[in-house]
Amino acid sequence: MDSHDNITTDVDIVTLRTMYSVLQVQNIKLQRELADLKDQVTALKLELTGRSEVVRSGIGAAAVGLSKEDRASDGAASDATLTKGASTCTAAPSGQCSPCPAISESSSTLPSLCSRQPHQGSGDHEGPLQLQPPRATPRHGLSRAQAERYSRHLLLPDFGVAAQERLCGGSVLVVGCGGLGSPVAMYLAAAGVGRLGLVDHDIVDVTNLHRQVMHATSRVGLNKAVSGRITCAAINPTIQVEAHTRGFTPATALELVELYDVVIDATDNPPTRYLISDACVVSGKPLVSAAAVGTDGQLTVYNYGNDGPCYRCLFPEAPAPENCSRCGEAGVLGVVPGIMGCLQALEAIKILSGVGDVSSKKLTIFDALAGRFTTVRLRNRNPACVACGSSPVINRATLPSYDYVLFTGQPPDDGPPADLELIDPRFRLKPQQVARLLAAQMKMDVDATAGQHREPDAVIGEAGPGPVRSFGAQEHETQQQQGRVRQGDLQQGRDGGVGQQRTLFLDVRPTAQYNIMALPGVVHMPYERLEERLSQLLAMLGVAIPRIDSAAASPTAVAASMAATVMESPNSGAIAAGAIATVAASCEAVASAAEPLAGGFAIGSGSTGDANGETDAWGSQPRVVVLCRRGNNSQRVVARLAGLGVKGVTDMQGGYTAWAKQVDPDMPLL
């Protein structure tokens, strides 16, 4: 019996040793598989790292080993013994896993195979080997920040990723950072155009702020291109914004245009418009052009495609200066350039992205008061065009020396028009002289009307005594009730003294300007209505009314006769039109009227100075003093009246603008 028991025990020991050997072989096999899995994980990490992604993965497996009973019956068990069954992981926080202590203790034989998947139930490590699912990879070249910023573009079925990528890789040059350029630059920056160039040599003025929304009150006096760069960089710091503060000139035009894909014309003067168009034609760049004056706007795209016209195709001859309206002269409703600028930004986006129909060969006209858009078809490219035709005169070699100021007869900026010199300065009054003359006449009116009441005669204009300063429309209405200019007051003396001739102060500004402020005692007669009311004015002055040919004798025609118009052959490479020159004939026309007046007053004697001893060309007070905004239209009116035989007529040099600077600093500068 003892012998049999010993044999049985020996068999059990052999069986256990055999099983242990089998487990050791399995352990070695598992170690090799683990090493292979580690290599695969390393390769996967390297692959995902190349895409700038960090992959965190782990491997887990169930521990395989002997049962506690078998382990207890095997005296040869060592630290290499494996544990069979569940081993509760308590070292890791919920949702994460670190190598379990039970497995770590036997890591000399079997490294940890703990999965980094969240634990289920009691946290037991069970089930097959698992890898964390790979992350979604982008199918475009945009960064995560770009994809989030432009996500609303990416969601558009007609736009999408490809169009946004083209925007981010594109560039736009915005010439002019004013009412049009502000919304263009801001929306292109927000849309993600990769590189923006802003061109402007002007500085921010307080009169700009109602429409040029890219600037702020704190930046008054700062260069507009620099101010625009600050705004655009704040809107989108991921793009590149460049400020070109030297302006856009024939010498720099080609250099600037060739650096960008699309050009925006956001200027307000003909010389620069022609220059931008010519530079785009020479460089082969599309041009998005718009204009906004008053309550109207227009938009088109030039030099686009194979047959798209350029600016010269539509306007081969420069418009006359008097036919060109600017915001500084005609005014502008602030929102109108904002609307047109947004449309320009839209056209630039369509060109860069390749999405949508570009507004080439059609002109969009906007009427703000009617809320109406109208589209007009334009002609194709003109084969005879001097810029884009079959035999262009303007090319890379000739453009830098082309005289755009001579061609248009206008300055190449968006500022006020150049001062005319139709009248010799000797025959013009300075604002201080007008102030003294007006004050003396107002005192004479007050003295003459003290305690008297007169029924008004035929009223030509409104006037009234008061301090020599400008005032608004409401205050002016009160002044009007105090006195009126009557027909005959200018033909005879008043009770202010023997020979005291009244002077007519004729304000020829538009009604809109007159309603803002006016000098007391003036007669308002808008320049554009001068011919219509000329006979009435002459009758008031006691001048015989001649037969007037309204077509030949209009103020425009008279002024044009005083201007030199130079027109060279287009084949010479230089075209000049509307160039204004100082003409001595205008001075002679005024001097010819310098005869003694009925009251003993003469023009041109040059012998009598004013009250402060200032010597001028007037023998005494003039009969008519014409006032306008800047002193240009007033010269035209003086020439017109002098040509009709009116004696003693002059104007205020510099107009109301000079008055505000030299006499009344409280008057707003328009």
Confirm if 603 and 624 have CB atoms less than 8 A apart.
Answer: no
Q: Is the dihedral of CA 220, 221, 222, 225 positive or negative?
A: positive
**CA dist., res. 627 & res. 519, Å (int):** 10
Is residue 632 within 8 A of residue 420, CB to CB? The reply is yes
Catalytic residue among 97, 324, 327, 587: 327
210 labeled binding residue:
yes
Is 447 marked as binding a ligand?
no
Say if residue 211 carries a ligand binding annotation.
yes
Residue 179 marked as a ligand binder: yes
Q: How far apart are CA 617 and CA 626, in angstroms?
A: 17
Q: Which two tokens stand for residue 197?
A: 């160039």
Element (H, E) at 301: strand 296-302
DSSP SS3 for 408? helix
Question: Residue 219 is which amino acid?
Answer: R
Tell me: is residue 464 an annotated ligand-binding position: no
The answer to whether 436 is a known ligand-binding residue is no
What does the alpha-carbon distance between residue 445 and residue 521 come to, in Å, rounded to a whole number? 10
Q: Which two tokens stand for residue 268?
A: 């307000």
Residue 647 is assigned to a ligand binding site: no
Active site includes 114?
Answer: no
The annotation status of 153 as a binding-site residue, yes or no, is no
The answer to whether the annotation marks 310 as part of a ligand binding site is yes
| CA–CA separation, 402 and 380 (whole Å) | 25
Q: What order do you get walking across the sheet with 171-175 strand by strand? A: 240-244, 195-199, 171-175, 262-265, 287-293, 296-302, 362-367, 372-377
Tokens of 449: 């009307």
Element (H, E) at 244: strand 240-244
DSSP-derived secondary structure for 312-358: HHH-SSPPPGGG---HHHH-B-THHHHHHHHHHHHHHHHHHHT-S--
Q: Is 114 annotated as a binding residue?
A: no
Distance CA 264, CA 286 (A): 9
Give the whole-angstrom CA distance, residue 230 versus residue 436: 48
Contacts of 39 (CB under 8 A, 6+ apart): none
CA 223 centroid distance within chain = 13
CA distance 616 to 436: 14
Q: How large is the C-alpha radius of gyration of the chain?
A: 44
Active-site entry in 89, 232, 587, 628? 628
Is 661 within any annotated ligand binding site?
no
Q: Is 327 a catalytic residue?
A: yes
The C-alpha atoms of residue 302 and residue 283 are separated, in whole angstroms, by 13
336 in Cβ contact with 296 (< 8 Å): yes
Residues 5 and 444: their CA atoms lie apart, in Å, by: 153
Euclidean distance between CA atoms 245 and 175, whole angstroms: 11
Question: What's the burial of 437, exposed, middle or buried (CB within 10 Å: 0-12/13-18/19+)?
Answer: buried
Is 209 flagged in the annotation as binding?
yes
Q: How far is residue 637 from each of residues 114, 532, 549, measured CA to CA in Å? A: 99, 13, 16
Annotated binding site for ATP: 179, 200, 207-211, 224, 268-269
Q: Catalytic amino acids?
A: 327, 628
Going by the annotation, the residues of the binding site for Zn(2+) are 310, 313, 385, 388
The binding site consists of 179, 200, 207-211, 224, 268-269, 310, 313, 385, 388
